[in-house]
Amino acid sequence: MTGEHLQVLHGDITRMEVDAIVNAANSGLLGGGGVDGAIHGAGGPAIMAACRGIRETKGGCPTGQAVITTGGLLPAPYVIHAVGPVWEGGNHNEDALLASAYEASVALAAQHKLRTLAFPNISTGIYGFPRERAVDIAINAVRKALAKAPGIEQVSFVCFDDENYRLYRQRLS
């Protein structure tokens, strides 16, 4: 636990007892591997049904934005599906899009009057965003968004791999 409302944990985000967990989704919202696969697997078909509904009405979720669904069978009642950028070398607006994915998630949680939120390390798996670069973007974006979301009491960064856990511990201690 550190100052403000930020904490870092090592483990599986699907087990978090918070108001919403964030998914590292893709624009199509139809599931995938990584944490997306784990969330749909643990949360059951209600999450996918809600994602299909959003696809039908909005056509999906653009990169850098987020949408909210039920948490299905998860301990968390809601899942916020945030779409981070695919790393393409760093000159394709990746930094701003990653920051936007975090900020949009915090804003959406605030709109829904949620108080506790847990993030995975968006884009640092299958999407290939360099971990060391992503950690600062994530922390700064969440801090910036929290300044406009006073109802949010705690944000957890749930790191699955050792390298991300080490980086977040270093930055937040």
Cβ closest to ligand AR6, residue 38 vs residue 48? 38
Phi/psi of residue 132, nearest 5 degrees = -65, -35
36 catalytic per annotation: yes
Tokens linked to 7: 């904490």
Pick the catalytic residue: 12, 19, 36, 136? 36
Quote the longest CA-to-CA distance of the chain: 43
In whole angstroms, the minimum distance from the beta carbon of 59 to ligand AR6 comes to 17
Question: Count of alpha carbons within 13 Å of 45, Cβ hemisphere only?
Answer: 0
Adjacent-strand bridge partners of 64 = none
In whole angstroms, the minimum distance from the beta carbon of 11 to ligand AR6 comes to 7
Q: Which of 14, 51, 9, 10 is nearest to 35 (CA)?
A: 14
In whole angstroms, the minimum distance from the beta carbon of 150 to ligand AR6 comes to 27
**15, 35, 107, 144 from 74: Cα distances, Å:** 7, 13, 22, 28
Phi/psi of residue 118, nearest 5 degrees = -130, 130
CB 163 within 8 A of CB 15: no
Q: Which residues bind ligand AR6 (CB under 6 A)?
A: 12-14, 24-26, 32-36, 38, 84, 120-127, 158, 160-161, 164
Please identify every residue annotated as catalytic: 36
